[in-house]
Chains A and B, each alone.
Chain A
């Protein structure tokens, strides 16, 4: 298996660095399917005769495993290189689909937990961080753009998987098209088998396309001395082991946790929320179920677009400043949404769209923020450890929102006022994140690796 090693992935002279983003996208577009599980949720509830919560646990296990495996395997990914990491991620992610399909065909829900949740979740974590450090090294001049492109793929993966799943479920189920149709378990099992094959092929394309730059390589025209001019950007290197001992790591952890929790506050309840905000005195909503579905789709676009647009913008305005916008302006917009969102959908929809674009931007900008603070040496491993904030937010966000809404009344009868305590709590979280971001300062030199122990700062070279 030496052909998977980092040493075999060093780019030859003439290699075009713009091949790296599609390689990274190929992996992220596949693992982004994790956010399209709602398409077959009802089908699985009926197939297993289970509750929504029991089926929801599949997704929860996968997200928790994403954070844990990214944290545990981060150093391994940095050491062994992106090709081995992507290959391993493909085995876990698609293997998870195969085991879960077996669970569906044999009606063993625990096998779906193990397959999609546990095994697939490990693939999610390794796959998510696998291209990040490589992209940052290929694009030292535009790290925000590079990671934004890849992590945009995670949002885009759901946009593809959602309509594709609906189409394939209809194709595989002979009863599709009948009134009140819900896909059978057999169709979901076949869908999983299809995903396993297609995603494996795509992830192999990514694994065998990605390459690491040769030592000392830098893009033409890139002057490393311009990096030194920015106060928060270091040219030194901090190991993953040392990074978690710095206050900066934990401030950024809090920033990501608060930003993600607040975003989940809207995403978790998007469809019922817009209907509840515009519920009339007679109990009917001005927003139909189809329009609410459209609203969810629009938020998906905002989530994906924000990852690319805001992360790219951070290359110009700086990482700390862009997080002040995500969290500060985000808190302001969130407050307006909570207090005045029910005035008109013309106000509500753009506000939610921008807030969710900040949520996506927070995900995509954080690898470049870590690069600025800790250098490129083990940025993938540090990013992996930071993603535990995502796992924690994935649990905290829905818990906060559901706890407040449960206390306010019955689903389907709630109004805009019922959402205010939950939304204003999210505003408080955003303010906490804003303060944590303000406290981020350059890392003390005692955490830096000794000079000469890590690869040298890129020198000017001809771009290939």
Chain B
């Protein structure tokens, strides 16, 4: 239960953060193209 809660907590914040970083890197790629 504790491990599942821990995983859920990190997924809840990790997924949006990964989305934000991915989108920003896509935008930053324009600098090198």
Q: Complex formed: what's the CA distance from A14 to B13 in Å?
A: 23
Contact residues in B for A163 (Cβ distance below 8 Å): 19-20, 23-24, 27
CB distance from A24 to the nearest CB of B (A): 9
With A18-B6, A294-B27, A294-B30 in contact, do A159 and B20 touch (Cβ < 8 Å)?
Answer: yes
Residues of B within 8 A of A161 (CB): 20
List the B side residues contacting A164 at CB < 8 Å: 19-20
Write out, one digit per residue, whether chain B residues 1-33 have a CB within 8 A of any chain A CB (1) or not (0).
010011001101110110111011101111111
Q: Would you call A202 and B31 a contact (CB within 8 A)? A: no
- Check B6 against A19 for contact (C-beta < 8 Å): yes
Collect the chain B residues with CB atoms within 8 Å of residue A14's CB.
2
Report which of B20, B23, B27 forms a contact with A293, defined as CB distance below 8 A. Answer: B27
Asked if residues B6 and A159 are in contact (CB atoms below 8 Å), the reply is: no
Q: Which of B24, B25, B27 has the most CB of A within 10 A?
A: B24
> Per-position contact with B for A266-309: 1 when CB-CB < 8 Å, else 0?
00000000000000000000001011011101101100100000
The CA of A349 and the CA of B28, in the complex, are separated in Å by: 11
- In the bound complex, residues from chain B placing their C-beta under 8 Å from that of A298 are 24, 28, 31
Contact B30 A300 (CB under 8 A): no
Please tell me if A151 contacts chain B, counting CB pairs below 8 Å: no
Complex alpha-carbon distance, A18 and B33, angstroms: 40
Q: Which B residues touch A68, using CB under 8 A?
A: none
- A160 contacts the other chain (Cβ, under 8 Å)? yes
Inter-chain contact B21/A301, CB cutoff 8 Å = yes
C-alpha spacing A163/B21, complex, angstroms: 10
Residue A209 interfacial (CB < 8 Å)? yes
Q: How far is the CA of A15 from the CA of B3 in the complex (A)?
A: 10
Q: Which residue from A16, A22, A297 sits with its C-beta under 8 Å from B13? A: A22
* Interchain CB contact under 8 A, B17 and A159: yes
Would A156 and B20 count as touching, CB distance under 8 A?
A: yes
A25 interface residue (CB < 8 Å to B): yes
| Contact among B5, B12, B23 for A159, CB-based, below 8 A | B23
Q: Are B9 and A19 in contact (CB under 8 A)?
A: yes
| Interfacial chain A residues near B31, Cβ < 8 Å | 291, 294-295, 298, 345, 349
**Contact residues in B for A22 (Cβ distance below 8 Å):** 9-10, 12-14
Minimal beta-carbon separation of A28 from chain B (angstroms): 9
CA distance A288 to B27 in the complex (A): 13
Whether A29 sits at the interface, judged by CB under 8 Å, is: yes
A153 is contacted by which of B6, B13, B29, B33 (Cβ under 8 Å)?
Answer: B13
B30 in contact with A290 (CB, 8 Å): yes
Question: In the complex the two chains form, is B28's CB within 8 Å of A295's CB?
Answer: yes
CB distance from B29 to the nearest CB of A (A): 6
Residues of B within 8 A of A (CB): 2, 5-6, 9-10, 12-14, 16-17, 19-21, 23-25, 27-33
A–B complex contacts, Cβ < 8 Å, 25 sampled: A14-B2, A16-B2, A16-B6, A18-B6, A22-B9, A23-B9, A25-B13, A26-B13, A29-B17, A159-B21, A160-B16, A160-B20, A202-B12, A205-B12, A288-B30, A291-B33, A294-B31, A297-B24, A297-B27, A297-B28, A298-B24, A301-B24, A301-B25, A301-B28, A304-B21
Interface residues of A (CB under 8 A from B): 14-16, 18-19, 22-23, 25-26, 29, 153, 156, 158-164, 202, 205, 209, 288, 290-291, 293-295, 297-298, 300-301, 304, 345, 349
Q: Closest 4 A-B residue pairs measured CB to CB? A: A159-B20, A294-B31, A160-B20, A163-B23
Beyond contacts A14-B2, A22-B14, A202-B12: 14 other A-B pairs, Cβ-Cβ < 8 A, are A16-B6, A18-B6, A19-B5, A156-B17, A160-B19, A161-B20, A162-B24, A205-B12, A209-B9, A291-B31, A294-B30, A294-B32, A297-B28, A298-B31
